[in-house]
């Protein structure tokens, strides 16, 4: 069983590496830009939106002093302007300042919940009678390889239909508009 698992990982890694070598797309121009690959020779730049962090307490917390407080990353609108095809492999090239750091430590891919007129992702939850929980934003697993001089080739397998976001860097680092930059795309 252990040998089979190791063989599977080695095969997956070599396939990802081989795929990255056959890609002939120029790196994005600036750090934190993301390309969605439409073929081995073309990519489309994904949209970046300003998100905000909203914190909300449940009504029971106000009435009885017992309840939960939730913090969420929210974006206006129910859809991204960028689209990808679901059910297959989604491939991205994300430019960073350099590609010397493990991308799993600072590139987070996650699926939004669509509620009302916004997309949201729960970051943390704290309760008066329960433990505090923080999500790590890495809810979508991916395989990554170095690409070019300062980019990463990211492979996402079998994404289901919905709204997705990518945060690069510290999720607590806010921009000048008192929000955070989120790269977004829709899987149809």
pLDDT confidence of residue 56: 81
pLDDT confidence of residue 59: 59
pLDDT confidence of residue 139: 79
pLDDT confidence of residue 134: 61
Predicted TM-score (pTM) of this structure = 0.77
pLDDT confidence of residue 60: 59
pLDDT along the chain (188 residues), means of 10: 42 46 89 93 94 79 67 93 83 93 91 95 75 62 96 94 88 51 94
pLDDT confidence of residue 164: 95
Residue 27's alpha-carbon distances to 24, 43, 45, 89, 108, in angstroms, are 9, 10, 11, 20, 19
- Distance CA(130)–CA(38), nearest Å, equals 45
């Amino acid at each position: 069983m252990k040998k089979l698992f190791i063989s599977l990982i080695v095969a997956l890694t070599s396939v990802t590496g081989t795929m990255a070598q056959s890609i002939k797309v120029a790196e994005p121009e600036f750090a934190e830009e993301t390309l969605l690959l439409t073929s081995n020779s073309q990519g489309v730049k994904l949209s970046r939106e300003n998100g905000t962090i909203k914190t909300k307490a449940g009504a029971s917390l106000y009435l009885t002093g017992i309840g939960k407080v939730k913090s969420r990353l929210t974006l206006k609108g129910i859809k991204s302007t960028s689209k990808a095809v679901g059910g297959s492999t989604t491939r991205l090239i994300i430019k960073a300042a350099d590609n010397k750091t493990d991308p799993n430590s600072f590139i987070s891919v996650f699926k939004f919940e669509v509620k009302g007129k916004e997309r949201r992702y729960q970051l943390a939850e704290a309760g008066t009678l329960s433990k505090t929980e923080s999500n790590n934003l890495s809810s979508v697993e991916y395989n990554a390889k170095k690409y070019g001089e300062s980019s990463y080739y990211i492979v996402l397998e079998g994404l289901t239909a919905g709204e997705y976001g990518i945060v690069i860097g510290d999720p607590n680092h806010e921009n000048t508009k008192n929000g955070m930059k989120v790269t977004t795309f829709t899987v149809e």
